[in-house]
Amino acid sequence: MSDLYRSALSARLAKLPLDLSGLEGDDDDDEESEVADSIGALPGSGMGPPAMPARNPRTKAPRPPNPDFAPISASPFFDSASQVDVPSRSLDVRAYYTPPKFAGGTVMVCHHGAGYSGLSFACFAKEVADMSRGECGVLAFDARRHGKTTSTQNDENLSVEVLADDLVALLRVLFPDPKAAPTLLLVGHSMGGAVCARACPLLINDKYRIAGLTVLDVVEGSAMDALPHMHSLLNTRPDGFDNVEAAVEWHVKTNTIRNPYSARISVPSIVTPSQSASAIVPAYQWRTPLRSTAEYWPSWFKGLSSMFLSAKTARLLVLAGTDRLDKELMIGQMQGKFQLVVVPGVGHMIQEDDPTKLAEILVEFWRRNERVVVGIKRVGDD
């Protein structure tokens, strides 16, 4: 981490107040927006929603649900939503799937980031299906300890190796014959990018056809540099919410998700009713508290750059803003080993903030690398 970056990060942390009141009132909203602008500018750490001042439910009466942030069903965005039994991993995986409409089509396999769910790709999935005219499908799913995926063994391990094996096992269940399976294009956001990078060679060894590997808004160097500061940032997040609408509203008003429509689809899946809600315990809590995943953070990002660059397929890195590449990626970019696209005007949740733009990028990437003329090198090929 550079001295400039460290100083900027420390200054931003120092500006956070110890406590602020709830979202009620115009004055509170103005103060919240000011803090959100400060924290939201931090380089993407890959650690999920940015931190905001804690909301203490004990000091305020419960707020009624705001209909402007009411949940929206995800049913129009995927053809199916089902629980998939993956016995080799003792998992019952929640999977959202829109298959390609034509034989020989491609499926974008989307892995979400820490604390989120497969529904963070809902709007993106609809855009991909429309832009590709059904030639390209989308499969998104909830990782273990996330969303509606459950484990019969209550395995808490979220190391990148375990998550990558989960992904491979799920695809083996859904597409048991690699020769008959559709071509796969791996898309991973943040933590999910590390999972897809590690799963890619495993799938290639299994003889699945991999059209490309896409990593969304995570760089190993920036992520590793941010890890020592994550507990301080998480200390300032709300412990929970009065209702689902309040959770959606928090994500929108803090610019964690800049697309209210997408937030109304995805956020309900990342909170859960509290088992003992009271005046002290909020009615809804995080389904996957990020602090509980802390021991696995280094495994997610250490070695990500080399794993990404060594993938034997086309490679695409999509960043929000101008997050710096680490040395290994800078050298790889100069050598033409991967395609880099920077999307302006979005935050860490690229696929939610601007699903149309990301779909355009991914569909163009798919068309160029899946339909490549024989004998012409793909982007990222050595």
Which residue out of 190, 262, 269, 299 is catalytically annotated?
190
CA-wise closest residue to 279 among 103, 22, 56, 70? 56
130 is an active site residue: no
217 is an active site residue: yes
Beta bridge partners of 86: 91
The token pair that represents 357 in the structure block: 């733009």
Instruction: Report the amino acid identity of residue 218.
Output: V
The token pair that represents 129 in the structure block: 């299906």
For residue 183, the 8-state DSSP code is: E
- Please state, in angstroms and as integers, the Cα–Cα distance from residue 278 to each residue in 58, 62, 128, 244, 284, following that order: 9, 10, 43, 16, 11
The token pair that represents 221 in the structure block: 């160097």
Which residue out of 111, 189, 229, 348 is catalytically annotated?
348
Spatial neighbors of 351 by CB under 8 A, at least 6 apart, are: 110, 120, 121, 123, 124, 189, 216, 358
CA angle 200, 145, 9 (to 5 degrees): 80
Report d(CA 350, CA 135) in Å as an integer.
Answer: 23
Which residue out of 142, 166, 217, 225 is catalytically annotated?
217
CA-wise closest residue to 234 among 44, 36, 48, 23? 48
**Helix, strand, or coil here: 91?**
strand
Query: Alpha helix locations (H) across 235-281?
Result: 244-253, 260-266
Report d(CA 315, CA 120) in Å as an integer.
Answer: 22
CA-wise closest residue to 42 among 294, 264, 219, 286? 219
111 is an active site residue: no
The residue with tokens 């060679």 is: 201
Beta bridge partners of 381: none
List residues with catalytic annotation.
Answer: 190, 217, 348
